[in-house]
């Protein structure tokens, strides 16, 4: 089983006696180490269901599950491979009752949370303020705070008023029997911390815990891990301090610093051999990251040969930069026979808005492309509509889901009726759905309005009953199509859109979603929490339960042959043969640092930390490339309506490139290639006889 592993990888796989930190540099085979270690633990006699491998995305979990199955075979399906949030859902479903939560609680998405926060302020707040509250409350929760702690720690009036909003928000969540994404980490932590029987149960259950991308964990996730493993501390943390780029969402390198202090017996193993990139690319990456302070110094090396020099492309404007990127793609394709696929190329940038000129240039050249990290399938309004109905089947107390479902499509129930229902439910401390069946409601509403509400309530109960008894893919598909026909959803889409083609596209998303849901009921796709087998048949109601956890359908889409446009943050964990890192100017990468473009001798700790994180972001960008890397910057860029002069990023200098080989003019290269081809074509044409 250990064939083909290098010495450091073997060491990491075979160390099972206690806590282990595997420092896995970019492209050093960390997923391989994790899957082989799972195999090793099973070989040693540990039951697969006692092994948990925790990742950060559903996509990473699906990939790991697939690789584990290829290596270990059938036993792999019993290993718990899931995200932190999926594990949280499982724990709260099983043991949340000790916190007063019903097993069928709802998981709110970001839009629901914004809506509830606006409601907490009396409904007068603008969206931007509600989003700011959301961000602050999320950061507090990730630090392990509740509203009481936030109120006690408040530094000024703004923080005090946000803490009071948080208090009302917590009350609403309890009333709605709902949780947000942050609660899926915070609640399991409270369960383990405050309830010894729950803690002992989970520590017994899990014999070894492996955590992928450990550098991206936040304070709450670290505490959760500590309590899951207990004093036996049988865990393997795999991460890379040089790739910690999510500080803005609570990830902290302190978690790496704490490990050797809190687990003095910690075994540290470094993976420094890179299997992805050429030596020229790695040298640039090692040089860039070198100025950052090191927790555990390491130097990546490759045995893939020197490869092409890393190129620097100077451009006048963003449009010029986009033209040059397209010219580079065309010349790299023209220089190879057969030409590389479109999907072998990626254009990476710091912020989403930078994609625009590249999209235009690619369209102009008729090159197929895909913007990665665009709108998630589950963020589309039509999918959210359907999910609101599912949420209501599962948890009748979910008021945000109730309001969305009753309004899409409209059922002859107006705002006035819903307003009176809302007042009645608040007065009698009932959910809106619960209030439908209260005897006193009849007196508070006109008969027609009351009858319409009752009809809706009975219909939801009927759907819930039917969904519970609908099993497998075929039945589920039939059920969903019938239900959409009953509520007239297709017609509703066509009535609410001016453009017929937009309505048709939205309806096709709905049908795709129905197919996808029904497949899950047939057990043809693995569960987000990694607990299903391929043959298991589920009820549609069971499938609907996990819906809020599934991030995007696009993660499961077949890879298309297209050039990828992506932000640096979204590119992490991915790789391409040819990468163009664009917009590498001061003020963009690194992003708006207050240090006079690096000329200030002394900067604040905060600025120094931000610079280190930006440098890690550059490092992540460089290490996505396998065979060729071009880094481009523009001499001028648009700022509002004006063109302002810009400077190349300090990171370009830090790459330490050879000035003689690094400058490139792709258009010139393309001209030379075309001339070469024309000459060849001329020579191969037979002379006139």
Active site residues: 30-31, 212-213, 243, 624
Q: How far apart are the first and last CA of the chain?
A: 67
Is the peptide bond between 409 and the residue preceding it cis, with omega within 30 degrees of 0?
Answer: yes
Burial 629-644 (b: 16+ CB within 10 A, else e): bbbbbbbbbeeeeeee
Separation CA 218–CA 254 (nearest Å): 9
Contact between residue 552 and residue 113 where contact means Cβ atoms under 8 Å apart: no
Phi, psi of 225 (to 5 degrees): -60, -45
Looking up tokens 């309001």 gives 403
Sign, CA dihedral 144-148-153-157, equals: positive
Q: Quote the DSSP letter at residue 560.
A: P
Taking the CA atoms of the chain, what radius of gyration do you get in angstroms? Answer: 28
Is the peptide bond between 432 and the residue preceding it cis, with omega within 30 degrees of 0?
Answer: no
Sign, CA dihedral 70-74-80-82, equals: positive
Separation CA 144–CA 30 (nearest Å): 29
Reduce the DSSP state of residue 584 to 3 states and report it. Answer: coil
DSSP 215-252: GG-BHHHHHHHHHHHGGG--EEEEE-GGG---GGGTB-
Q: Quote the DSSP letter at residue 396.
A: T
CA atoms within 13 A on the CB side of 134: 21
> What distance lies between CA 83 and its chain's CA centroid?
10
Separation CA 623–CA 278 (nearest Å): 10
Within 10 A of 212 (CB to CB), how many other CB atoms are there?
Answer: 26
């Amino acid at each position: 089983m250990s064939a083909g592993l290098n010495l450091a990888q073997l060491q990491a796989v075979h160390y099972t006696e206690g806590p282990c930190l595997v420092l896995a540099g970019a492209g050093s085979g960390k997923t391989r180490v994790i899957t082989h270690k799972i195999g090793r633990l099973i070989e040693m006699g540990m039951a697969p269901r006692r092994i948990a491998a925790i990742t950060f995305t559903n996509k990473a979990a699906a990939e790991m599950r697939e690789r584990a199955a290829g290596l270990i075979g059938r036993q792999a399906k019993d290993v718990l491979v899931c995200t932190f949030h999926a594990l949280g859902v499982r724990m709260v479903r099983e043991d949340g009752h000790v916190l007063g939560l019903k097993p069928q609680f709802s998981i709110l998405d970001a839009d629901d949370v914004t809506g509830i926060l606006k409601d907490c302020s009396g409904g007068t707040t603008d969206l931007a303020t509600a989003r700011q509250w959301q961000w602050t409350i999320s950061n507090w929760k990730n630090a392990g705070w509740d509203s009481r702690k936030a109120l006690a720690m408040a530094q000024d009036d703004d923080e005090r008023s946000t803490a009071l909003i948080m208090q009302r928000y917590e009350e609403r969540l309890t009333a709605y029997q709902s949780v947000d994404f942050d609660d899926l980490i915070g609640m399991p932590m409270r369960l383990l911390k405050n309830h010894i029987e729950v803690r002992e149960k989970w520590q017994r259950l899990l014999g070894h815990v492996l955590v992928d991308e450990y550098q991206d964990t936040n304070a709450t996730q670290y505490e959760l891990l500590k309590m899951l493993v207990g004093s036996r501390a049988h865990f393997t943390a795999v991460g890379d301090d040089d790739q910690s780029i999510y500080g803005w969402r609570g990830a902290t390198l302190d978690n790496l610093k704490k490990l050797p202090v809190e687990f003095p017996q910690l075994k540290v193993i470094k993976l420094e051999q890179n299997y992805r990139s050429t030596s020229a690319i790695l040298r640039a990456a090692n040089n860039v990251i070198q100025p950052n302070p090191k927790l555990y110094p390491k130097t990546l090396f490759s045995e893939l040969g020197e490869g092409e020099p890393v190129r620097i492309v100077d451009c006048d404007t963003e449009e010029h930069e986009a033209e040059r990127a397209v010219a580079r793609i065309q010349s790299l394709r023209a220089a190879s026979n057969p030409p590389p696929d479109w999907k072998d190329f990626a254009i990476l940038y710091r912020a989403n808005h930078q994609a625009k000129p590249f999209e235009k240039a690619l369209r102009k050249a008729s090159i197929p492309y895909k913007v990665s990290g665009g709108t998630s399938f589950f963020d589309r309004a039509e999918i959210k509509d359907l999910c609101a109905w599912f949420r209501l089947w599962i948890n009748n107390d979910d008021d945000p889901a109730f309001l969305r479902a009753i309004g899409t499509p409209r059922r002859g129930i107006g705002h006035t009726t819903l307003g009176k229902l809302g007042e009645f439910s608040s007065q009698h401390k009932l959910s809106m759905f619960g209030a439908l069946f209260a005897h006193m409601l009849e007196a508070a509403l006109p008969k027609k309005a009351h009858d319409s509400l009752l009809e809706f309530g009975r219909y939801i109960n009927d759907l819930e009953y039917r969904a519970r008894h609908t099993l497998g893919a075929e039945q589920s598909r039939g059920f969903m199509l019938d239900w959409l026909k009953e509520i007239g959803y297709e017609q509703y889409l066509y009535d609410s859109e001016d453009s017929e083609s937009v309505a048709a596209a939205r309806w096709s998303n709905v049908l795709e979603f129905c197919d996808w849901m029904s497949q899950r009921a047939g057990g043809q796709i693995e569960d987000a929490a990694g607990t299903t087998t391929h043959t298991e048949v589920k009820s549609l109601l069971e499938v609907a339960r996990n819906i809020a956890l599934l991030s995007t359908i696009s993660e499961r889409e077949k890879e298309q042959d297209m050039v990828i446009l992506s932000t640096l943050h979204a590119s992490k964990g991915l790789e391409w043969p040819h990468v163009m890192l664009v917009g590498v100017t001061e003020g963009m990468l690194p992003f708006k640092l207050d240090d006079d473009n690096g000329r200030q001798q002394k900067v604040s700790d905060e600025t120094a930390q931000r610079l280190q994180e930006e440098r890690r972001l550059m490092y992540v960008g460089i290490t996505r490339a396998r065979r060729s890397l071009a880094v481009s910057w523009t001499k001028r860029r648009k700022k509002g309506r004006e063109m302002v002069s810009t400077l190349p990023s300090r990171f370009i200098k830090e790459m330490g490139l050879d000035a003689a080989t690094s400058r490139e003019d792709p258009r010139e290269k393309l001209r030379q290639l075309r001339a070469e081809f024309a000459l060849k074509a001329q020579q191969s044409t037979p002379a006139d006889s």
